[in-house]
Amino acid sequence: MSETTYNVAVVGATGAVGQKMLETLEERNFPIKELTLLSSSRSAGLKMTFKGKEYTLQEAKPESFEKIDIALFSAGGSISKQLAPEAVKRGAVVIDNTSAFRMTEGVPLVVPEVNEEDIRNHQGIIANPNCSTIQMVAALEPVRKSLGMKRVIVSTYQAVSGAGNEAADELREQSQSFLNGEELEANILPVKGDKQHYPIAFNALPQIDVFQDNGYTFEEMKMINETKKIMHAPDLSVAATCVRLPFFTSHAESVYVEVEKEGVSVEEIKQLMEEAPGITLEDDPSAQSYPTPLSAAGKRDVFVGRIRKDLDDEKGFHLWVVSDNLLKGAAWNSVQIAERLVANQWL
Ligand SMILES: NC(=O)c1ccc[n+]([C@@H]2O[C@H](COP(=O)([O-])OP(=O)(O)OC[C@H]3O[C@@H](n4cnc5c(N)ncnc54)[C@H](OP(=O)(O)O)[C@@H]3O)[C@@H](O)[C@H]2O)c1
């Protein structure tokens, strides 16, 4: 990495993603000159530690971005819509974790293993895709590139931390209540602010984000639309069903993929996974080896296992894809974009 250092702001530093962002910047020894930690007025004044040094949180305002080179945003879509343009106006490059700009034309939507080159065309904002999309496209891109790809059908098994710290707290409290034989109180999930809330503890909720007019949820539509944008594959057929489950970290996905090439073997797909950057193959039925949300938690890679050929369609394959939603799904992918931005001098 270059010797140059950068003024970095983390917006939403106290959040589930923001905290991982700081951990990742520290672990990767990102070349930071000055670090600015931003939150809402609620947390302003609180202290957080980075590399052994204490930082005081400040309320995020347009002026917070004076002299900032790189701003990592994860404070919700409305904050990004309001403050990201202000940061850009003041000369910062924004890497945004929310859905605010992902489908905006001219805003690169980037998973470095798939479309790093798109970073080059940024006009100030680079969008970090949805967590469940990132891990799926990272695993599927090597297959698409080598074998062609016609159709993807995915069902997700997603962790509560994907809905932020409040959702994780809700699972903790409800689990305790359930074991105590008490009534479960639900105020956050499936979607904070939606009409109905259902318990997540010992349950499964087939709703992530709000419903759209077509009957799909917004999370499902994110997976569908973002996959096509990241892969530059507008004609790829994608269908998704997204489900929230009662564990804290990592999203798991059952992915069905139909390739274009004829006569592909499971071994070929396994080899592609073994050679792909950022992917770890964990696939040995004889040793009961496969990834799980717990085994992937805290790791930066995307883990793939249970690769099988469809029994009826010789071009169809099934994969099990697991990754830490707060790392590759959010903080690590963002820091990786920042690393590529700096290494390629694309600021
Ligand atoms: N969790 C994931 O797996 C994941 C993955 C990819 C993308 N994302 C996206 O990242 C964003 C944050 O998610 P999260 O899970 O980290 O949520 P979270 O745990 O609820 O954290 C929200 C963060 O936003 C800050 N914030 C709230 N209102 C603000 C305001 N008016 N001005 C400045 N900061 C404000 C909060 O600060 P206070 O401490 O002051 O409240 C907190 O730091 C969301 O848009 C989410 O969709 C999340």
Measured from the Cβ of residue 120, the count of other Cβ atoms closer than 10 Å reads 11
Which range of residues forms the domain containing residue 50? 6-129+330-343
| Minimum-distance ligand 1 atom for the alpha carbon of 41 | 40
- Active-site entry in 122, 131, 232, 318: 131
Nearest alpha carbon to residue 140 among 10, 272, 287, 36: 272
Please work out whether the CB of residue 273 comes within 6 Å of at least one atom of ligand 1: no
Ligand 1 center from residue 279 Cα (angstroms): 27
Tell me: do 29 and 65 sit in the same domain.
yes
Tell me: do 125 and 146 sit in the same domain.
no
Tell me: do 167 and 210 sit in the same domain.
yes
Tell me: do 35 and 140 sit in the same domain.
no
Helix H or strand E segment including 38: strand 32-39
- CATH at 269: 3.30.360.10
Tell me: do 101 and 192 sit in the same domain.
no
Tell me: do 124 and 17 sit in the same domain.
yes
74 in a structural domain: yes
225 in a structural domain: yes
* Integer Cα distance of 6 and 31 in angstroms: 6
1 in a structural domain: no
Tell me: do 106 and 170 sit in the same domain.
no
Tell me: do 148 and 19 sit in the same domain.
no
Return per-residue pLDDT of the chain as tens, 347 residues.
Answer: 448 999 999 999 999 999 999 999 999 999 999 999 999 999 999 999 999 999 999 999 999 999 999 999 999 999 999 999 999 999 999 999 999 999 999 999 999 999 999 999 999 999 999 999 999 999 999 999 999 999 999 999 999 999 999 999 999 999 999 999 999 999 999 999 999 999 999 999 999 999 999 999 999 999 999 999 999 999 999 999 999 999 999 999 999 999 999 999 999 999 999 999 999 999 999 999 999 999 999 999 999 999 999 999 999 999 999 999 999 999 999 999 999 999 999 99
For the chain, the domain total comes to 2
Please work out whether the CB of residue 77 comes within 6 Å of at least one atom of ligand 1: yes
| Minimum-distance ligand 1 atom for the alpha carbon of 14 | 43
The verdict on whether 242 is a catalytic residue reads no
Tokens 């995915």 locate to: 154
178 in a structural domain: yes
Q: Which residue, judged by its Cα, is nearest atom 3 of ligand 1?
A: 162
251 in a structural domain: yes
Ligand 1 center from residue 261 Cα (angstroms): 42
Tell me: do 338 and 310 sit in the same domain.
no
- CATH at 28: 3.40.50.720
Ligand 1 center from residue 98 Cα (angstroms): 9
Tell me: do 208 and 228 sit in the same domain.
yes
| Minimum-distance ligand 1 atom for the alpha carbon of 39 | 34
Tell me: do 194 and 295 sit in the same domain.
yes
Tell me: do 92 and 185 sit in the same domain.
no
Q: Which residue, judged by its Cα, is nearest atom 29 of ligand 1?
A: 40
Q: What is the dihedral of CA 289, 295, 301, 303, to 10 degrees?
A: 30
The verdict on whether 122 is a catalytic residue reads no
317 in a structural domain: yes
User: pTM score, two decimals?
Assistant: 0.97
